[in-house]
Chain A
Amino acid sequence: MAGEKSVETTGLLGWIDRRFPLTSTYKAHLSEYYAPKNFNFWYFFGALSLLVLVLQIVTGIFLVMHYKPDAQFAFQSVEYIMREVPGGWFIRYMHSTGASMFFVVVYLHMTRALIYGSYRKPRELVWIFGVGIFLCLMAEAFFGYLLPWGQMSFWGAQVIVNLFSAIPFIGPELSLWIRGDYVVSDATLNRFFAFHVIAIPLVLLGLVAAHVIALHEVGSNNPDGVDIKAQKDKYGRPLDGIPFHPYYTVHDIMGFVGFLIIFMAIIFFAPEMGGYFLEYNNFVPANPLVTPLHIAPVWYFTPFYSMLRATTDDFTWVLAGSAVLAAIMVFLRVKGLMKLIAPVALIAVAVLLRVIDAKFWGVIAMGGSVVLLFFLPWLDYSPVKSIRYRPGWHKTLYGIFFANFIVLGYLGTQAPTDIFNLMSQVGTLIYLAFFFLMPVWSRLGTFKPVPDRVTFQAH
């Protein structure tokens, strides 16, 4: 027949393959996608993120069948799901606990990328799509948290929407436009519902597809940071690669089982996780006249929230001073066009730090600390990818960075005090310095030789 593609498969599969790239897609992404054979425990978390994404979508669809996005009825409808819909409590706790578990696996997935250099060339786009997914998840979590219309829902949304009012000139109008009212209200609830159930999930799914396609185009990194495509057998298959299916599909199913045991244990025995996954104040209906005595975001936002709180008027002096120091350093070390442009820009930032309210810079610190991640592939100059072959003190730096992130997270859950405020300011500086000074420190020290093949002990 004219125009029909010739394929190797026959029968029904052949009929499909002549019309749709089924077998070739299956091969490209599963049976002939060669992943390094030395994946360790850290490599579970990518697949686990996908599992949680599916669980969130499925539980979300069933929740929408009973939930009412109306300020009058939202709180009751959630309680109705919890108490009167058969099995409703399970679906709801799966979804609300799933949100926290999503961030657990995604933070671990990102940690893996950091320590093994998975963001380095040629995987920059994999990383950028990934940070995009992280931003979408944060938006998803924020919009979703308003829906139960409890006290924390209401005041959390009030604070975050007001972040935009800190932007000079257009700020107040912008936050009014986002809320659709002078205070967080029914109009806000309705639009957040629309974002949570359709707008952000669509973007999220697109980014997840792009993340996986980009990954499969360049191939997975591994704990040694060795390029497995450099050593191939006579059929052109990487010597250290094994087909994703069946090897890693089976491996990941084992990971799923382990994860689901923990996940179900949390749902059954500690769905609120002592106020960390679902805050106690959110079991009180929203009251626009009274802010709860202690308000803090859910745990996965607290490191960034700490940086927001840390940025006081005094602290902008420290930041402006750091910018001036950076300007001097760039002027002395860098050659070419950037020798003048970068210092002038940095001095301008230093001046603005003192001219515009600290409130605005708190918002910039919070947003910037996430946006900074996009630039990571171009900040790291280390000659090796994996932490295994870096100097010992690099490992210490990474250790400090992760510990600091956890401390910032803890401080964000606590009521503000002078000593905690000072600690968050130091923590914010450590976080920013880790990234901004990375072009300097990442190339220093004695690196260990990287082997040609991955290190792997067959068991």
Chain B
Amino acid sequence: MSHDSTVHDDEGAAPQTLPSDPSRRFWIGTTCAVGGAAGAALAVPFVSTFAPSEKARAAGAPVEIDVSTLAPGEMRTVEWRGKPVWIINRTKEQLGTLKQNDGELADPKSLRPGFTPAYAKNEWRSRKPDLFVAVGICTHLGCSPTPKFVTGPQPSLPNNWDGGFLCPCHGSTFDMAGRAYKNKPAPDNLEVPPYQYLSDTRIIIGVDETNKA
């Protein structure tokens, strides 16, 4: 902090001309290495506290939904593991648009790993064509896209818009099967969560052949 001044060696110290003592060098090095390792190991418990707690891990119970009241064209949002899950009863017209835009989609056949269970790897990305179930979280940076089911030109959307979803954060667009359009920030199609039919009118989210509750 203050003005620098020259520091002189303590006269009692070993003369600089003497060779260094290899035994002392060894023990200085060893002490530093052991102390350093202990210090680094101490970071482990601190770092581990950042991971999700047992409470957070446990809060993932499956959700049951009655879909009999869902009119064609209607969408409902339920909460599963803290995320919005959409259930949409798609109309015939909406299903009809799904075959038209393959050329403009980033991954029309849902071939990229991780976002589509085997039973949803089809044109409509669902178990039954009309009912679409997807996690309403954009695969880009996690915003929840907005439904834009009205077709035709409108702000932030192309003029030949066939209906789908628009992410308000970074402008990614998805078709009525949650498939991402090319040249938008989102690399993947919307995630289809594990789900199955309990009966014709009830589905359960969070459970399927490979995921038990």
Contact = CB atoms under 8 A, between A and B. Distances in A.
Contacts of A213: 1
A423 interface: no
B183 A159 contact: no
A250 to B, nearest CB: 24
Contact of A292 (B52, B53, B83, B168): B168
Interface stretch (A8-16, A271-279, A308-316, A400-408): A308-316
Contacts, number: 116
Judged by DSSP, the binding face of B is: loop
A25 B83 contact: no
B53 A187 contact: yes
Contact of A181 (B1, B82, B84, B144): B82
Interface stretch (A118-126, A226-234, A355-363): A355-363
A416 B82 CA distance: 27
Interface string B142-156: 111110000000011
A182 B56 contact: yes
B171 A416 contact: yes
A415 B183 contact: no
A362 B56 CA distance: 30
Contacts of B182: 313
Interface string B163-180: 000011111000000000
Nearest to B139: A359
Given A213-B1, A293-B146, A359 B140 contact: yes
A326 interface: no
Contact of B144 (A25, A178, A289, A294): A289
Given A25-B2, A159-B169, A213-B1, A180 B53 contact: yes
A362 B170 CA distance: 11
Interface string A24-45: 1100100000000000000000
B184 interface: yes
Interface in B61-114: 77, 79, 81-84, 106
A191 B56 CA distance: 15
A288 B84 contact: yes
Interface in A276-327: 288-295, 308-309, 311-314
A180 B52 contact: yes
B51 A177 contact: yes
B3 interface: yes
B117 interface: no
Interface in A156-175: 158-163, 165-166
Given A158-B141, A362-B185, A290 B84 contact: yes
| Size class of the A contact interface (CB-based, 8 Å) | 35 or more
Contacts of B184: 312
Contacts of B169: 155, 159, 291, 295
Select the residue from B1, B142, B170, B187 with max chain A CB neighbours within 10 A: B142
B141 A162 contact: yes
A176 B142 CA distance: 12
A185 B83 CA distance: 11
17 contacts: A25-B1, A159-B143, A180-B53, A181-B82, A187-B52, A289-B79, A291-B143, A291-B168, A294-B168, A295-B168, A312-B185, A313-B106, A313-B183, A359-B141, A416-B170, A417-B155, A417-B171
Interface of A: 21, 24-25, 28, 155, 158-163, 165-166, 176-183, 185, 187, 191, 213, 288-295, 308-309, 311-314, 357-359, 362, 415-417, 421
